[in-house]
A and B are shown apart, each in its own frame.
Chain A
Amino acid sequence: MNKDKAIGVRLENLAKAFPVYGKNEEFFAVDHINLEVPAGAMVTLLGPSGCGKTTILRMLAGFEIPTAGNIYIGDKEVSHIPPNKRNVGMMFQSYALFPHMSVHENIAYGLRLKKLPEEEIKDRVSSVMSLMQIQEFGRRMPNQLSGGQQQRVALARAVVTEPLILLFDEPLSNLDAKLREYMRDELRNIQQRVGITSLYVTHDQVEAMAISDHVVIMNEGKIEQTGTATTIYNDPDNAFVADFMGSANFVTAEIIKKGKTTWKAKVLGEELDLPVPRLSEGVSEFVCMLRPEATSIDKKEGDLTATVISYTYLGQVIEYELEVSNERIKMIDYRYREHGLFEEHTVIKLTLLKNSLRLLPKVD
C-alpha cells in the first residue's frame, strides 16, 4: 500500500443514541457530529471517558449502527454494511489476538478468509512480519509474547489485509509507561510508512499530541475543537479544551476595550493587549487562560507580586500555588536550580509570558 491509494473518511451529522436503562428516553453518546479525515492522515479522537469517541470508532468499524447520519469511507456510504464486509482494520485495546492460534495463523487469518492462494498468504504474512520486526515469532502462541510484541502482532494482523482505513482503540493503554512511549513512536512510524488513513482513540493527551496529524477534542458526544496539536494547545477555543489539553489557570479578565486586532483587558491587575477570542459572539464575560509553564518567578525581578501558598517538589520542576491580586494560580518553575526553592508565605515576583495568554469565554 502507498499513500496514493489512501482514501479519506467523512462523518456527516453522525449520531448514536442508546436507551437509558429503566427510563423511556434516549441518551446521545454521539450527538450529531461532522468530521473529515484527510486521506493518509492520522487523526486522534481525544476526550474523557464517556465522551463518545469509542462509539464513533465502533460505528466506523460497523459494530454499532448509527441512529442518524452518514459515514463515508472514500465516496462510499458504509453505515449499513456489516463489519465483515467493510474492509476496515482495527486494533483493539486488549489486542484481541486469537489465543488458540500461533502468531503466523493470527496474521494469516484475514487473508485466509479472503481465500487467497496459500503462496500469496505466505508472502504477505512474512513481509508484514518483517515490517513489524516480528519475523522470529511466527510459531509462538500469543501468550508466549510480551505486551509490546503482542501489540505488533495485532497491528500486523490489522494491516496485512490492506484495509481501506485503520482504527485504533486505545491500543497503548495496557502497556507500561516506558514501552508506551516507545510503541507510540513505532505506531506513528509504521502508519507513516504504510500511509493508511487512521483514526486513533485515546484519553491520553500526550499520546494524542505525539502521534497524530490532527487532534479532535470531544466532550459529551460533541466535538469541541479540531486542529493540530499546536493549535489546540496554544489556541484552544474554550476552557474545556484548554483544561483537557495539559493544565491551565483561568483568571478573571476585565475587558477594557475591544479592538479589531487585539482586545485590551485587565488581568491580575495588569492591563494587557490580548488576541481577539475566536468564539466571542454572544459571550459577555471572559477569562484569561494562563499555562502554568508560561510564567517565571524570581526573588526580586518581575512584573507582579505573588505570595507562595504551597509547593510540590517533582524533581524536574517545582509546582507552586501562588496568590496574585486575590487570585490563586498554579505555576511550574523549571529554573529552581538557579534561584532555589521558595518556602510557603514567601513574597516573590512573577512574570507572565504575555504572548501565550488567551481570552476564552467564561463558563459557569
Chain B
Amino acid sequence: MLISQPGLFLTIIGTLFILIYFCLYPIYKVLMTTMVDQNGNFSMDTARSAVTSLHFMSSLINSIVMGCIVAVTATMVGFLFAFTITRTNIKFKKFFHTIALLPILSPPFVIALAIIILFGRSGVITRQILGIENNNVYGLTSMVVDQTLALFPLAYLNLRGLLEAIDGSVENASRSLGASRWQVFKSVTFPLTIPGILSSFLIVFAKSISDFGTPQVLGGDYNVLATQAYLQITGLYNLNTGAFMALSILVPAMLAFFIQKYWVARRSFVTVTGKPVGGYILIEEKHITRPLFALCTFVTLIILMFYGTVVWISFVKTWGVNMQFSLTNYIYAFQRGKKPIQDTLILSLICAPITAIFGLIIAYLLVRKEFFGKKLMEFATLIPFAVPGIVLGIGYIFAFNTGPIVLTGTGFIIVVALMFRNLPIGVETGTNSLRQIDPAIEEASTILGANNYKTFTKISLPLMKSALFSGLLNAFVRAMTSISAIIFLISVRWKLLTVSILSEVEQSSFGRACAFCVILMVIVLIAFQVLDLLMNRIDKRSFGRGHIDE
C-alpha cells in the first residue's frame, strides 16, 4: 500500500527520522552520559557519587513529598471547579472557567512573585498588615500553594472532559430509582470519575516534580531535584551529576505519565470523545450550590489577588520603599529588556506555526494511516512532553554540542527544543479533532481523484481549523512562557523573557520582574485576539458560499 504512495511513504520516513533525532536521541544521550565514564566504559561512578552526595536523597524525598501533596490539592481544586461548572446551575460559570485557564496562559513566575510580594519578609500582608517581621516565605508551603494554583487547571480540564462525557441518563436513572443528590454523587458520578481523578493526580504529580521555575524562586532551603540539577550544572559545572539528578526526576515523572496514559485511561468506563453528552438535570438545591459557589469564588479571589498584585507592583516606583505610581519598571523593561522581548517574540512566532502544522500532520498519520513504526512514532512524540523540561534541555546540550548537527548557542536550538517539547499538545488536539471527522469524508475526496496531499490540505486541514487554532495558540503561549526546557539553551545571542524575569527575581528587583510578567501576559492576550481574528478571516474565505456563480 505504502509503496504505491511514495509521497506518503516519504512523509512517514521523514517524520520518523526527525522524531527519533530530536525526541529520542537527546534523552538517550543524557542516559549514556550518566552511565559512562571518561573513557566511554560503562560505569556507575556518576550515579554513585551523585547518590551519596549530601543533597541527593533529601532532594529526591522532597520532590516526591511535594509532588504528592500538590497532586492531592490540585486535583481537589480541579474537581471542585469541574463538578461545579458541569453539574450545578450556578451563575458566572464562564467566568470561573476563564479563571481556571488563566494560570495555563501566564508566565510561570506570576504566582510565585505575588506570594513573595504579599507574604515575604517585607510582604504587604505579613509585614504591613499583620506586622510580622522577617517572615520566611520560602519553602514547601509556598510552593504547594503556588503549584496548586498553577497546576489545578490540568486536573480541571481533564475532569471536566470526563464529567461532560458521562451520559446524563445514568445519573437520572439513579435519581429516579430513588437516590438523593448525595447518593447519586457517591454511587454513580464519583465512581465513574475515579479513573479521571487518578489520571489527574498522576499528571499533576509528574508536572510538580518536573517544575523548575517554582522551586528556583520559592524553594529556599527546601531542595528539590530540579533545582539541585540546575545548581550542579550552572553553579558547580558538574554536568554529569546534574544530568543524573535530572534523570532521577525523569523516572517517577515518566512512570506517572505512562501509568496515566496506558493504564488508568484504559480502565475508564467513560469514553471521552470531546463532545459533551449532556442530559443531566443540573443541581439547583441551594444548600449544595451555595457552598460550591463559595469555594470556587474563594479560589478565584486568591488567583485574582495574585495576578492583581503583580500588575499593581509593576506600576509602583520601588517596591517596599516608594510605593507611588510610576512607569519606571516599564521604561526599564522596554529599554534594557527590548532584546529579550524581541527574541522571545521572534522565536515563538517561528515556533508556533511549525509546531501546530507538524502536530496536525503527525495526528493525521497516527489516526488515519496504517504503517510500520506507528507505535514508535506515537511514543517518540510523547517523550519530550513526558520528560522534565530540564532533562530535555540537558539532552539537547549533549546531543547537539558535537556530532553531525551542532546547534548549541543558536536560536535554532531553542526553537527546536520548544517545538518538540510542545508537539504532543498539537498532536493531541489534532487527534481529538480528527476522530470527530467521519473518515468517509476523506475517502470521498480520495475517490473523486485527490491524492493524500490534496485530501489533507483541501479537506482534513480546513476541517481541523479549530484544532489548528488551539494548536497555534498553545504552541505560541507555551513557547513564550516556558523556562525549564530552555534554561540551559540560552546564549548571549538569544535572550528570553522568562529568563529575564528569573534573573530579576533573583536580584530581588520584583517591580521589574512584575513588569516583564505583565508585558508577557499582554503579548499572549494580543496573540489570542489576532489569531481569533485571523481564523475568522480564513473562515469566511474557505467556508464561504461557492465562488462560482451558478
Which A positions have Cβ atoms within 8 angstroms of B?
61-63, 65, 80, 82-90, 92-94, 96-105, 108-110, 113-114, 118, 121-122, 125-126, 129, 135, 138-141, 157, 161
Contacts and interface: CB of A to CB of B under 8 A. Distances in A.
A172 to B, nearest CB: 15
A55 to B, nearest CB: 14
A63 B543 CA distance: 28
Contacts of B443: 61, 63, 83, 90, 92, 96
7 contacts: A83-B446, A90-B444, A90-B447, A96-B438, A98-B445, A125-B548, A157-B444
B1 A62 contact: no
Contacts of B5: 82
A157 B459 CA distance: 15
B447 A61 contact: yes
B107 to A, nearest CB: 36
Counting contact residues on chain B (CB < 8 A from A), the size range is 20 to 34
A102 B448 contact: no
B546 A84 contact: no
Interface stretch (B138-146, B229-237, B449-457): B449-457
A86 B441 CA distance: 18
B454 A113 contact: yes
Interface string B449-469: 111001000110011000000
Contact of A100 (B447, B448, B462): B462
A104 B550 CA distance: 8
Highest count of chain A CB atoms <10 Å: which of B451, B462, B545? B545
Given A92-B440, A108-B548, A139-B550, A100 B463 contact: yes
Contacts, number: 97
Nearest to A138: B550
B4 A80 contact: yes
B542 interface: yes
Nearest to A88: B447
Nearest to B451: A84
A159 to B, nearest CB: 11
Contacts of A102: 544-546
A248 B115 CA distance: 81
Contact of A98 (B441, B447, B454, B550): B441
Given A93-B440, A129-B550, 13 more contacts: A65-B1, A84-B450, A105-B546, A109-B448, A109-B450, A110-B448, A113-B448, A114-B449, A121-B548, A125-B550, A126-B550, A141-B543, A161-B448
A65 B2 CA distance: 11
Interface of B: 1, 4-5, 438, 440-441, 443-451, 454, 458-459, 462-463, 542-548, 550
A99 B446 contact: no
Contact of A94 (B440, B445, B448, B450): B440
Contacts of B546: 101-105, 108, 138-139
A118 B546 CA distance: 13
Q: Which of A85, A99, A118 has the most CB of B within 10 A?
A: A99
Contacts of B446: 62-63, 82-84
A135 B550 contact: yes
A47 to B, nearest CB: 21
A96 B548 CA distance: 22
Which one of A62, A80, A93, A110 has the greatest number of beta carbons of chain B within 10 Å? A110
A181 B459 CA distance: 32
Given A82-B5, A88-B447, A157-B448, A104 B548 contact: yes
Contact of A113 (B438, B440, B450, B462): B450
A173 to B, nearest CB: 13
Contacts of A126: 550
Contact of B543 (A100, A108, A138): A100
Contacts of A104: 546, 548, 550
Nearest to A163: B447
A273 to B, nearest CB: 53
Contact of B444 (A85, A92, A121, A139): A92
A175 B440 CA distance: 18
A150 to B, nearest CB: 12
Contact of B447 (A83, A135, A138, A141): A83
Minimum-distance CB pairs A-B, first 8: A110-B448, A96-B440, A104-B546, A102-B546, A96-B444, A138-B550, A113-B449, A92-B440
Given A84-B451, A139-B546, A98 B4 contact: no
A33 to B, nearest CB: 22
Contacts of B547: 105
A122 B548 contact: yes
Contacts of A87: 449
B542 A86 contact: no
A52 to B, nearest CB: 19
Contacts of A157: 444, 448
